[in-house]
Amino acid sequence: MNIGKIPETVLKRSVLKQIKHRRDEVLVAPSVGIDCSIIGLSNNDLIVMSTDPLVGLIDDLGCLAVNITANNIASCGAEIIGIMLSILLPEGTLEQELKKLMQDVEATCHRLNIDILGGHTEVTNVVNQPVITVTGIGKTRQESIKKSSKLMPGQEIVMTKWAGIEATAILSKAKEKELITKYSLSFIQGAKKMLEYISVVPEAKIATDIGVVSMHDVRRGGIFGALWEMAAASKLGLEVDLKKIQLKQETVEICEFYDLNPYTLTSGGSMLIVTDRANYLVERLMEAGILATAIGHIKEGNDRIIINEGEIRYLEPPKSDEIYKVMI
């Protein structure tokens, strides 16, 4: 298998089909396009859990790892309470590097008002780069849960911010020496600052408060991958106008430099929201300083269509993320 997310067919055949459901308390089990598990308690309170690994030598590994899991929890309409950490470090890692990683994790938790609940830290010769796995625990109530299985034809899809946020920040930091041969230092600094937009917790809270239908944070596979997963979870189709998907100029330039498709490029920091009141939602988000655009709608059938000035493209299940063409 190739680097990145395993293909949907493999996921269904070799992972999901092996999992059996036994406990009545488990209300949401693993499925395509589902990033969280939901556990019901007797008093209508729910526990929401999600886990994600992150691998790499990038400066912001701790910040990214915490935000990714927090975004998953927020996308369910839940409030994240805390995280468990598993950190695997290669031989030769300096204590100062571990300390810096934990300082970044703690600073991110402080911004999000969540606790580090515990975990495990180990140096091992099995890995050649740091591997940090974050498991998030959140809380909500039954009426606040947002699930793609509730989608209906005619409902509108709102996208927040821009495609390729996370990848643009990662590539501008990891590949600065290459990029500086073509772009100015100020341009690269601007690309690095896109990490400031990595959290979708603010837009998730606004969307939850006004009562949207579903939320899906975007990451591996990019906007196209997230659209596919959202539609697959609902067993419905969708139609999206490519021109309405927003891109930062930094993302456009870096994608041209490395010949990458920005729409299938890891896009943590962006969220897809399905609602019956797209205009109202966009207004509320814009008032809060969060860019938002209605990009399409849910439709009957299984066709997932992207329209670009009259030209129709049919989405396919997400393959390896574009970032792996550069970051190996």
Two tokens, residue 14: 């070799």
- Give the pLDDT mean for 174-200: 93
My answer on whether 321 and 172 are in the same domain is yes
> Does 8 fall in a domain?
no
**Are 272 and 127 within one domain?**
no
Query: Does one domain contain both 153 and 211?
Result: yes
Statement to judge: residues 219 and 274 lie in one domain? yes
Asked if 211 and 79 sit in the same domain, the reply is no
Whether residues 128 and 206 share a domain: the answer is no
pLDDT digit string, tens, across residues 288-304:
999 999 999 999 988 89
Percent of the chain with pLDDT over 70: 90
- The reply to whether 5 falls in a domain is no
d(CA 245, CA 289): 18
Question: Poorest-confidence range of 37-46, 192-201, 237-246, 304-313?
Answer: 37-46
Q: Are residues 235 and 98 in the same domain?
A: no
Dihedral sign, Cα of residue 130, residue 54, residue 203, residue 285: positive
Provide the phi-psi class of 85: left if phi over 0, else alpha when psi is between -120 and 50, else beta: beta
Q: What is the CATH number of the domain that holds 68?
A: 3.30.1330.10
91 shares its domain with 233: no
Q: Report which secondary-structure segment, H or E, holds 99.
A: helix 95-112
Give the pLDDT confidence of 96-105 residue by residue, as tens digits: 988 999 899 9
Residue 237 has which token pair?
Answer: 């189709």
The answer as to whether 288 is a domain residue is yes
**The pLDDT value given to residue 109:** 94
Domain span at 293: 148-325
* φ and ψ at residue 291, rounded to 5 degrees: -60, 135
- What is the pLDDT at residue 20? 77
Answer yes or no: is 11 within a domain: no
Structure-block tokens of residue 307: 């329209």
Same domain membership, residue 137 and residue 180: no
What tens digit of pLDDT does each residue of 259-271 get?
Answer: 999 999 999 999 9
Residue 282 in domain:
yes
Q: Are residues 177 and 155 in the same domain?
A: yes
pLDDT digits (tens, 9 = 90+) for 225-234: 999 988 888 8
Domain membership of residue 50 (yes or no) is: yes
Report the domain count for the chain. 2
Sheet of 311-314, strand order: 214-217, 271-275, 156-160, 292-299, 237-241, 304-308, 311-314
**Mean confidence (pLDDT) of the chain:** 88
> How many CB atoms neighbour CB 96 within 10 A?
8
Q: How far, in Å, CA of 66 to CA of 104, rounded?
A: 9
273 is a domain residue: yes
Distance CA 65, CA 69 (A): 7
Q: What's the CA gap between 11 and 6, in Å, rounded?
A: 6
Q: What integer pLDDT is reported at residue 59 of this predicted model?
A: 73
pLDDT given for residue 145 in this prediction: 65
Q: What is the mean pLDDT of residues 192-221?
A: 92
* Boundary-marking domain end, from 90, 111, 144: 144
The verdict on residue 316 lying in a domain is yes
The CA dihedral of 268, 272, 273, 276, to the nearest 10 degrees, is 170
In sequence order, the 6+-apart residues with CB closer than 8 A to the CB of 38 are 26, 27, 28, 46, 47, 48, 49, 76, 145
Give the domain-ending residue among 128, 144, 160.
Answer: 144
What is the band of 197 on the pLDDT scale with cuts at 50, 70, 90? very high
Alpha carbon distance 132, 60 (integer Å)? 12
Domain closes at, from 117, 144, 171: 144
DSSP 256-322: HHHT--GGGS--TT-EEEEES-HHHHHHHHHHTT--EEEEEEEESSS-EEEEETTEEEE-----S-G
Query: 194: domain CATH number?
Result: 3.90.650.10
205 & 87 share domain: no
> Are 107 and 43 part of one and the same domain?
yes
